[in-house]
Amino acid sequence: MSIFREMGVLPDLEAAGFPRKLGARFELANGALGTRFSFRAGKYNREPEAIQVERAVFDHVLLKHARNSGAEVREGWTVRSFSTDDAGITLEVSDPESRAQTLRASFLIDASGRGNLTGNQEGLRVMHPRHKKLAVFAHFKGVLRPEGETHNDIIIARLVNKWFWIIPISAEKTSVGLVMDKDEFAQEKGSPLEIFEKHVAISPSVKERMQNVQRLGDIRTTSDFSYFNRRLVGDRLLRVGDAAGFMDPIFSAGVFLAMWSGKLAAEAIRQTLDGGRSNRETFSRYEKRVRRGMTYYWRMVDHFYTTPFIELFLRPSEHANLFSAVIGVLAGEVEGSWSLRWRMEYFFFLVRLQSVLPLAPRIRYLAERSLSRSPS
Ligand SMILES: Cc1cc2nc3c(=O)[nH]c(=O)nc-3n(C[C@H](O)[C@H](O)[C@H](O)COP(=O)(O)OP(=O)(O)OC[C@H]3O[C@@H](n4cnc5c(N)ncnc54)[C@H](O)[C@@H]3O)c2cc1C
């Protein structure tokens, strides 16, 4: 929200009527345990709420804002390749009629998402060694939502080694998706829709909310998550958002990290243009900051797939204000104050301890275990 405020785009986003996100609920898909993280209850986050967006609408609001702010926006153009020389950047592009063109620029911000234009061209992409995931998802009408403060909460429902997201993206529309191992998906028999429905059927907490839904549009899949580029900057080049790195979307941090790194990239270029620090020094400070922020979420994601983490995460304790610290991370305090950071280190220490000594009761993913064919 603070980035939107600073950009001056908040009124347009408010006018678009996106659901206000006041908290997040994480639960076991068998319905046995769940916890709500209310942003307002956090002691270390600056923002008490966020918004949840339908991307097509949201991206269009941002595009119009860029245009109204003086940017020249060209839609339907594709960048094919780039090269750098002492005086600037050259881009080989295709225009909307697929005609080849050449453009020159002083700097390049690569915001090509998982298309990862410059990272791929330079062979920088490193895939995460373990998280080879796939998501099956669609938009639905009629997903049950509670009344009151929790009405628009995002819900994450955890199965043994998979999870569902349930995200209200407009007054009527809810995005529901299942994230699972790509290999397991390949071994399952059936279409993506059948696999999705099978997992809804074995997840009481999800099934209950989806009793009378109507699917809006096709079920979609996307795979090959979680990678980072070995370098986030080059001469006259900065990579932002997913073009810097992407991790499993459990904590819904992707759009925030894209906005945050985009803002830092703009600042780095402005500082370079204003003189003062050298291009190299400013860009390497950018790289350090963004890598640190992204690594922070990677660590959370890595832990999320372990049972000791879930055991502590779903039974939060206000001991040493740990609950608040976790809320801070969920609310996008990516750089966080020292008070937040040491608490998160302490929390991760307790997670390690939990794996050998049960500080919180052990959990079982019972419903899935009794119904699924081959749980791990
Ligand atoms: C299954 C899944 C679920 C997710 N759920 C969430 C969530 O709940 N919350 C959240 O915050 N994030 C979520 N994310 C992550 C989020 O979608 C991304 O982190 C975010 O979109 C990154 O923004 P971006 O601008 O870097 O890239 P994108 O949004 O991917 O935008 C990249 C743009 O660049 C364009 N482009 C690419 N290549 C070229 C080229 N060569 N020339 C010209 N244009 C090009 C593309 O067409 C696109 O418009 C999810 C991601 C996945 C895969």
Percentage of residues in the chain with pLDDT exceeding 90? 86
Alpha carbon separation from 252 to 10, 51, 297, 329, 342 (Å, rounded): 20, 11, 10, 11, 23
Q: How many CB atoms lie within 10 A of CB 166?
A: 22
Q: At what angle do helices 279-304 and 338-354 cross, to 10 degrees?
A: 40
Query: Distance from the CA of 224 to the center of ligand 1, in angstroms?
Result: 13
Whole-number Å distance, alpha carbon 113 to ligand 1 midpoint, is 5
Look up the pTM and report it.
0.94
Per-residue pLDDT, 371 = 46
Half-sphere exposure of 254 (CA within 13 A, CB side): 18
pLDDT, tens only, 122-174 = 999 999 888 889 999 999 999 999 999 999 999 999 999 999 999 999 999 99
Per-residue model confidence (pLDDT) at position 376: 33
Question: Under 8 Å CB-to-CB from 218, ≥6 apart: which residues?
Answer: 138
CA of 55 to the centre of ligand 1 (A): 9
42 CB within 6 A, ligand 1: no
**Ligand 1 pocket mutation, candidates 242, 250, 294, criterion most atoms within 8 A of CB:** 242
Q: What is the pLDDT of residues 322-371, one digit of tens each?
A: 999 999 999 999 888 899 999 999 999 999 999 999 999 999 886 655 44
Q: How far is the CA of 41 from the centre of ligand 1 (A)?
A: 30
> Ramachandran region of residue 231, left (φ > 0), alpha (ψ -120 to 50) or beta?
beta
Cα first-last separation, the chain:
39
What are the structural domains, with CATH classification, of the chain?
19-52+80-376 (3.50.50.60)
- Is 224 a residue whose pLDDT tops 60? yes
Q: Which two tokens stand for residue 121?
A: 């061209």
Which is the closest atom of ligand 1 to the Cα of 117?
Answer: 41
Measured CA to CA, the distance from residue 37 to residue 175 in angstroms comes to: 20
pLDDT tens string 54-68:
999 999 999 999 999
Tokens of 1: 């929200």
Q: Round to whole Å and give the CA distance between 164 and 248.
A: 12
pLDDT computed for residue 279 by the predictor: 80
Pocket test for ligand 1, best of 61, 112, 128, 154 (most atoms within 8 A of CB): 112
State the DSSP string of 112-131: -GGG-HHHHHTT-EEE-SS-
Cα 47 from Cα 57, distance rounded (Å): 23
Using 50, 70 and 90 to split pLDDT, how confident is the model at 287? very high
Residue nearest to atom 37 of ligand 1 (CA): 112
> pLDDT value at position 364?
87
